[in-house]
Amino acid sequence: MTGVPKIDKPRHSDTVQRGMSVIVKIAGKSSALRHEVEVILGERIKDVAVYESLVGAELGKGDILIVVGDDRDVLQTLHTVSHIDAAVLAVSREASRGFLSQVMLEDLPDALEKIRSGQFSMEGITALEVRIDEHNPVIAINEAALFSQISATLVEYSLHIDGELLWRDLADGLIISTPLGSSGYSLSAGGPLIHHAARALAIVPVNSIDMTRRPLIVGDKSLISVESISSRGGAEVIVDGLLRIPVDEGLVVKAFEPPIKLIRLNGPSPIFSKIEKKIHLAEELLDTPPSAKLILKTIEYEGPLTYSQLLKKTMLPERTLRHALNILVSKRLLARRPLTRDARQKLYYIPAGELTGEPRASE
């Protein structure tokens, strides 16, 4: 792969219109959201096909897929269509810190008009191909993270770049991140911000016992191998916060080919304003205790959690947990609402379009 090349935009509207299908994918099976999309599109609804699931949808090379939802919905869709040479436009229902959304839902008709008239470009973004224990590879848009399956347990591993041993380490974990993912969990673990057009990947040790283990930037043509993995209770690889895959021996990571295509509408890129928000967030966290940062990291990666789930996952004392939650809520970095199935419990979440539903009953 040659990095994140710019893909030439269509030269005129006829090129866009001939042989191109526009499909709108809405998050979940929500009749209310489907109705909202149909009302907003109005007469333009006849020019698109609206789906709640892409099973059975005829999506092929050169088509455009519009995903209405938060970043998690977009990531799930990209995992599904990564093998198809189609371009994706992310549409959000509300303001979000996410990097993927390009337009708001109410602006979708104008966005469709720009697409039809060729006023857009397609940007190739770097994704990861992650092969775990010789199994079939999976795709990561943001990152692949190695952690123990038991909270507060160290992982031992050796890191190899292009076949050469770089280091052996004992740490809380290891994150391998794309430029797009560098503003997420990797950043909160001490990793660098990488410009979205950079031809690079980030390797970030998480709380290593060796202070010389620092975040490492490698080229996007590098072959990254993590071997000799050992952890009490077993280790797992977490892909984009969506997939949890147990790992016994090791994983191999490289840039995925071809690049994932995202549609960028003509005009100022929203990327830099969102990076600025990330910097402001980091400044807000400077005077917060480590327990609050741990909670924020956990919810950012796990999704919305109840108090009892946070107690179990963070292993913090109850008094410490309550104090840290109060700080995060007062700073509006977290919000809470009653749990639908039990109003006595509160669900804590990041109020930035990251709420994806109730926690699983098994948790």
Whole-number average pLDDT of the chain: 82
Q: Supply the pLDDT for residue 131.
A: 97
Taking CA 224 as the corner, what is the angle to CA 219 and CA 228, rounded to the nearest 5 degrees? 155
pLDDT, position 190: 85
- Higher per-residue confidence, 212 vs 46: 212
Summarize pLDDT for 30-40 with one digit per residue, the tens.
777 888 888 88
Active-site annotation holder among 71, 73, 169, 220: 71
Residue 289's closest CA among 334, 318, 327, 317? 327
The answer to whether 50 and 37 are in contact (CB under 8 A) is yes
Determine the pLDDT at residue 17. Answer: 47
Average pLDDT over residues 174-186: 90
pLDDT at 354: 37
Q: What pLDDT shows up at residue 216?
A: 96
Beta carbons within 8 Å of 362's beta carbon, 6+ residues apart: none
pLDDT at 83 over 90: no
Bridge partner residues of 225 (DSSP): 160, 252
Residue 199: per-residue pLDDT: 93
- Residues near 294 by Cβ (< 8 Å), separated by ≥ 6? 314, 316, 324
Maximum C-alpha span of the chain: 64
pLDDT digits (tens, 9 = 90+) for 327-354: 999 888 899 998 877 778 899 998 753 3
Q: Looking at mean pLDDT, say which of 69-73, 97-101, 280-284, 309-313 comes out highest.
A: 309-313
pLDDT class of 355 with cuts at 50, 70, 90: very low
Instruction: Say how far apart CA 168 and CA 146 lie, in whole Å.
Output: 14
* Token code pair at residue 196: 């979205």
Average pLDDT over every residue of 109-135: 89
Annotation marks residue 8 as catalytic: no
CB-side neighbour CA atoms (13 Å) of 154: 9
Phi, psi of 9 (to 5 degrees): -80, 160
pLDDT value at position 272? 58
More confident residue, 113 or 256: 256
CA distance linking residue 48 with residue 130, whole number of Å: 34
- The pairing of beta strand 173-177 with beta strand 101-104: unpaired
Domains of the chain: 6-125+260-265 (3.40.50.10330), 128-255 (2.60.200.30), 285-349 (1.10.10.10)
What confidence tens digit (pLDDT) does each residue in 187-244 have? 878 899 898 889 999 999 998 999 899 999 999 999 999 999 999 989 999 999 889 9
Give how far Cα 122 sits from Cα of 106, 231, 264, Å: 22, 42, 6
Give the model confidence (pLDDT) of 250-308 as tens digits. Answer: 999 999 998 898 888 876 555 556 666 666 666 666 677 878 888 887 887 677 899 99
Distance separating alpha carbons of residues 90 and 102, to the nearest angstrom: 6
pLDDT at 267: 64
- Across residues 149-165, what is the average pLDDT? 93
pLDDT of residue 300: 75
pLDDT score at 359: 39
The pLDDT value recorded for residue 277 is 65
Extract the runs of DSSP E, i.e. beta strands, from 69-149: 87-92, 101-104, 120-125, 128-132, 138-140, 143-148
- Report pLDDT for 5: 39
Read off the pLDDT of each residue in 38-49 and give the average, rounded to a whole number. Answer: 80
Block residue for tokens 């060729």:
118
Whole-structure pTM value? 0.74
